[in-house]
Structure 1
Amino acid sequence: MTVHPSLQPYADAWTHSAEAISELVQPLVEGEWNRATPCPGWSVRDIVSHLIGMEDEMLGNPRPIHTLPRDLYHVRGDFARYMEVQVDVRRHHTGPEMTAELEYTLIRRNRQIRNETRAPDTRVRAPLGAEQSLEVAYRMRAFDTWCHEQDLRIALGVPGNLDSPGALVARDVFLEVLPKTVAKDAGAPPNSAVVVDVHGPVEFLRTVRVDADGRGSVDGSPSLGPVVALALDWETYVRLACGRVRPAAVADRVKVEGDAALAEAILATLAFTP
């Protein structure tokens, strides 16, 4: 039985990225598992550990009972501590142990997805004891898996899949949070417009409009007089939105027109992943 039509695109995107990750890490020698990735504080091993842990939780299995060390500088806040448990518990696992657990977990998750009969609005567990709909859970697993696939590709020097199904899911997630980024986080003035023009493997041109009450909305219509216009390539947008790079490090890859201070504020608050 196939999954619900509204879940299928996320299932397909997740499967595509999960298989790509499996192929990336299968031939790694022991030292390569320790390579740093763009994800702050996480190595190749850590990212794979995270993915194993998240999929294991999607299977409904209990979380490991584990106390984190106190010297993990990149762990800040309850959400980060929650995520770090599944990572730290595997920090001393060997490469063969990692690939074996990853393959076993992906086999079980693929079977679960193929046999999925729950409705998209079914409530399932989310991080920190919260709940979310099954559709949101599928969407976020597709998004998270693709983003970490890109982390691994950068760390291992194997670029690719910037236009894969997961990339399109990521684009939609980015656009969903863009109005809040511009209107609330960056403080764009009321009755203004900001244009974001992204080119490359995934392209989009969107205008964020801030109304008189300071609320933002996004549409595909161009603005004749935007207060700020940003133009950048897709890979740079991804790295900024995922918090993998600071705006100053990619300033030469971003074209800015209009209010420079507001543009700087937008770029500084573009990152929304924890």
Structure 2
Amino acid sequence: MATPTVPAMDITRTSGSRARTVNEAEIQASLAMMESLDARAWSKPTACSGWTVRDMVAHEVGQFEELPKPWLMITRIRRARHRHPQMGPLDGHNESQVEERGGASSERLVEEFGRVAPKGVRSLSRVPAPVLRRIRTSMIFPEGKALPEDSMEYLNSVLIARDTWMHRIDISDATGAELTLDAHDSEIMDQVLLDLALGWTGPPCLLELSGPAGGRFLLGSGPPVVTLRADAIDFARHLSGRQPRGELTFEGDADAAAALNAARVVF
């Protein structure tokens, strides 16, 4: 049976109630990978410049820690202004997260992630959706203005799972740890493709994405002028701006292929 082609613009945005399930599934998948790492893995460099696996997990702990305690974001941004004046608010804040846990062991980081991450997700799920919708992420991070939806609702429904998911991919790439994919990975990938479609101004393109998180998707409307074939995870990695690992193959109009190759999505 042929795989149906789904218009990427028709993908439904993850609801707040569904987001908690997806977020919790990603937390468990990430925690399982962290627990599988041996001592040598924690010092491996990652796709995030200057960060080891250990630094990346420290950042993730800090992210979830802030969800029920948003004042920590402000504290870290202020600290970063003095320590890292060359960085923007978001990057400086992320660096502060890493620095705060500079002395923590890998065992401590795994324990903290397993405790703090579920608590952070639960805290957001208790906030009424209209309130999350009204709170702008750009009030804290100016970079939030570049998001498809500048709101805490978007953070809860999309970005929490996406950021954690991509860092799980980063850790797998850095250490060789097995990347186990299930249904929730497809849901995260679908939201990536929806955001790609929302920002797409080029001609119609067909995306043939292989692997458990893949499928056939149409960007734009009308007959596609170019077809992209790639593993879904490789394409997600590419859209995030990370260095390519798998091959992206384009067939069709060269200008459309170049536009699709240059497309990016916020992670």
Q: Matched residues in 2 for 1:176 and 1:235: separation?
A: 16
Listed as ranges, the gaps of 5+ residues in structure 1 are 210-218
Relative to 1, partners in 2 of residues 1:125 and 1:205: Cα closer, same or farther, differing over 3 Å?
same
Q: TM-score, normalised by structure 2?
A: 0.75
The corresponding residue for 1:213 is: none
The corresponding residue for 1:143 is: 162
After superposition, residues 123-134 of structure 1 pair within 5 angstroms as 123=132, 124=135, 126=137, 129=140, 133-134=151-152
Q: Matched residues in 2 for 1:125 and 1:49: separation?
A: 25
Q: Matched residues in 2 for 1:273 and 1:40: separation?
A: 17
The corresponding residue for 1:7 is: 16
Q: Residue 167 of structure 1: CA displacement?
A: 3.5
Q: Which has the larger radius of gyration?
A: 1
The corresponding residue for 1:165 is: 184
The corresponding residue for 1:272 is: 265
The answer to whether structure 1 residue 257 and structure 2 residue 251 are counterparts is: yes
Instruction: Answer with 128-137 or 58-67: which moved more.
Output: 128-137
The corresponding residue for 1:58 is: 67
Do the aligned partners of 2:65 and 2:117 also contact (CA within 8 Å) in 1? no
Do the aligned partners of 2:55 and 2:98 also contact (CA within 8 Å) in 1? yes
Letter in 2 for 1:112: S
In the TM superposition, what whole-angstrom CA distance separates every residue of 1:238-269 from its partner, at most 9, and x where no partner exists?
111122224xx64xx222222224413421x2
The corresponding residue for 1:104 is: 115
Which of the pair has the greater relative contact order for Cα pairs under 8 Å at 6+ separation?
2
Do the aligned partners of 1:239 and 1:245 also contact (CA within 8 Å) in 2? yes
After superposition, residues 183-262 of structure 1 pair within 5 angstroms as 183=201, 188=202, 192-209=203-220, 223=223, 226-246=224-244, 250=246, 253-262=247-256
The answer to whether structure 1 residue 85 and structure 2 residue 96 are counterparts is: yes
Q: Residue 142 of structure 1: CA displacement?
A: 1.6
Q: Matched residues in 2 for 1:94 and 1:117: separation?
A: 32
Listed as ranges, the gaps of 5+ residues in structure 2 are 1-13, 145-149
The sequence identity of aligned pairs, in percent, is 22
1:37 corresponds to which of 21, 46, 53: 46
Do the aligned partners of 1:18 and 1:106 also contact (CA within 8 Å) in 2? yes
Letter in 2 for 1:165: H
Q: State the aligned residue count.
A: 239
In the TM superposition, what whole-angstrom CA distance separates every residue of 1:37-89 from its partner, at most 9, and x where no partner exists?
23333221122112111111111243244347559xxx854432233221232
Relative to 1, partners in 2 of residues 1:79 and 1:151: Cα closer, same or farther, differing over 3 Å?
same
Q: Matched residues in 2 for 1:135 and 1:195: separation?
A: 30
The structure whose residues are more often helix, as a share, is 2
What is the RMSD of the two structures over their aligned residues, measured on CA atoms? 3.0
